[in-house]
C-alpha cells in the first residue's frame, strides 16, 4: 500500500472524505485538514453514533495508510496499549542459552532485543520499520485517568521510551484520531496537544446526503421520510437519541422489507433498528410514532 499525498486544502479534504462516503460539514473538514497539515492529533468528542470513529477508517483507506486501532476500556494498561516482552520466547531463549553455555552477561543483553518485543497499537503506529499509519485511539473516556499520562509522550513527541531498549520514535508521524463519548472529562493535558472538534448530529440535508452515500439502495422518498422522522425523534425526551448509524440501519431495514414510504405499521415493527432501549421503544411506539410518521411524510 503506497501512501497518498495529503490534501492541500479544506475543499480537497472534504472531497477525500466524500470519496470514502463520509459527508463532513465545513467545520469538521477544516479540523481534519488542519490536523493533517499541522501533524497534530485530532480529538473528536460527541454523542455515540455521530461518525467519529468512521473518520479514522476513511482517512486510512483514502490516504493508503495502515489503520491501527486502540480500543480503550477500563483497566487498559501499558502492556495492552503499547508493548510487552514476549516472556514465553525469552524463557525458551534462557533454556537454549543454558544448554549452549552462554554467559549471563550475553544472555541479559540478548533477552531484551527487538525480536522479543510485542508491539501493541501505540508502538505499532510509530514503529519506524513499518509503513505510515492512522492511529485511532477510540473512546479514550472509557480508559482510566492514569493511562492518559502515558499518552502524553506519544502525542507530544510521537515516541515511546522502553527502559530495557531505549526510545523508539516515528520517522513519519502517524495521523492520530482520538474519540470520546464524554462519559467522563478527558484531562486538559491531552486536550492541549490536540486540535478539537465536537461532532454533532447532522442537519437534515447532510443526513440525507449521508444516507444516499451509505445506503444507496434505499428509495429516495423513503430516505427523505426516514431522515425527517429521525430529525424529529431527536427532539423528544428519550434515553438514547439515535445516531447516524441507526438512521442508516433503520432505512436499510425498511428497504429490506420492500417499504417505499413510511407507514405507522412498518415504523412500529422496525423501531428496534432505530432505538436500542425498550423504554424508548415503548415511549415512541403507537400514537407518538403515528404522529411523527405523519409529520415526516408531510415534511419530505
pLDDT for 27-36, tens place per residue?
999 999 999 9
Q: What is the pLDDT of residue 104?
A: 67
Report the share of the chain in percent with pLDDT over 70.
Answer: 96
CB 204 within 8 A of CB 244: no
Q: What is the pLDDT of residue 220?
A: 95
Low-confidence ranges of the chain (pLDDT < 70): 1, 98, 101-109
Separation of alpha carbons 66 and 130, rounded Å: 9
For 172-197, give one letter per residue: b (16+ CB within 10 A) or e: ebbbbbbbbbeeeebeeebbebbbeb
CB 187 within 8 A of CB 145: yes
Q: What is the pLDDT of residue 53?
A: 96
Separation of alpha carbons 63 and 74, rounded Å: 31
Nearest to 76 by CA among 128, 139, 13: 139
* pTM of the model as a whole: 0.89
- Express each pLDDT in 255-285 by its tens digit: 999 999 999 999 999 999 999 999 999 999 9
Q: What is the pLDDT of residue 105?
A: 65
Q: What CA dihedral angle connects 190, 127, 147 and 241, to 10 degrees?
A: 70
Amino acid at each position: 500500500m503506497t501512501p497518498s499525498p495529503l490534501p492541500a486544502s479544506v475543499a480537497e479534504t472534504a472531497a477525500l472524505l466524500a470519496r470514502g462516503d463520509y459527508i463532513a460539514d465545513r467545520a469538521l473538514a477544516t479540523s481534519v485538514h488542519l490536523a493533517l497539515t499541522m501533524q497534530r492529533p485530532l480529538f473528536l468528542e460527541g454523542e455515540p453514533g455521530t461518525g467519529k470513529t468512521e473518520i479514522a477508517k476513511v482517512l486510512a483507506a483514502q490516504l493508503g495508510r495502515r489503520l491501527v486501532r486502540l480500543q480503550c476500556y477500563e483497566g487498559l494498561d501499558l502492556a495492552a496499549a503499547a508493548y510487552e516482552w514476549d516472556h514465553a520466547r525469552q524463557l525458551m531463549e534462557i533454556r537454549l542459552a543454558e544448554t549452549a553455555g552462554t554467559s549471563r552477561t550475553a544472555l541479559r543483553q540478548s533477552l531484551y532485543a527487538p525480536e522479543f518485543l510485542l508491539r501493541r497499537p501505540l508502538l505499532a503506529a510509530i514503529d519506524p520499520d513499518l509503513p505510515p499509519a492512522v492511529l485511532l485511539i477510540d473512546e479514550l473516556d472509557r480508559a482510566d485517568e492514569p493511562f492518559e499520562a502515558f499518552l502524553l509522550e506519544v502525542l507530544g513527541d510521537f515516541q515511546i521510551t522502553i527502559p530495557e531498549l531505549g526510545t523508539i520514535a516515528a520517522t513519519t508521524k502517524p495521523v492520530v484520531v482520538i474519540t470520546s463519548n464524554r462519559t467522563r472529562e478527558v484531562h486538559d493535558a491531552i486536550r492541549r496537544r490536540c486540535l478539537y472538534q465536537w461532532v454533532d448530529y447532522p442537519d437534515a440535508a447532510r443526513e440525507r446526503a449521508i444516507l444516499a452515500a451509505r445506503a444507496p439502495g434505499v428509495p429516495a422518498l423513503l430516505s427523505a421520510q426516514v431522515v425527517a422522522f429521525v430529525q424529529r425523534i431527536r427532539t423528544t425526551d428519550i434515553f438514547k437519541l439515535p445516531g447516524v448509524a441507526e438512521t442508516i440501519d433503520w432505512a436499510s431495514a425498511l428497504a429490506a422489507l420492500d417499504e417505499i414510504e413510511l407507514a405507522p405499521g412498518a415504523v412500529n415493527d422496525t423501531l428496534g433498528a432505530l432505538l436500542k432501549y425498550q423504554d424508548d421503544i415503548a415511549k415512541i411506539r403507537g400514537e407518538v410514532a403515528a404522529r411523527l410518521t405523519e409529520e415526516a411524510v408531510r415534511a419530505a
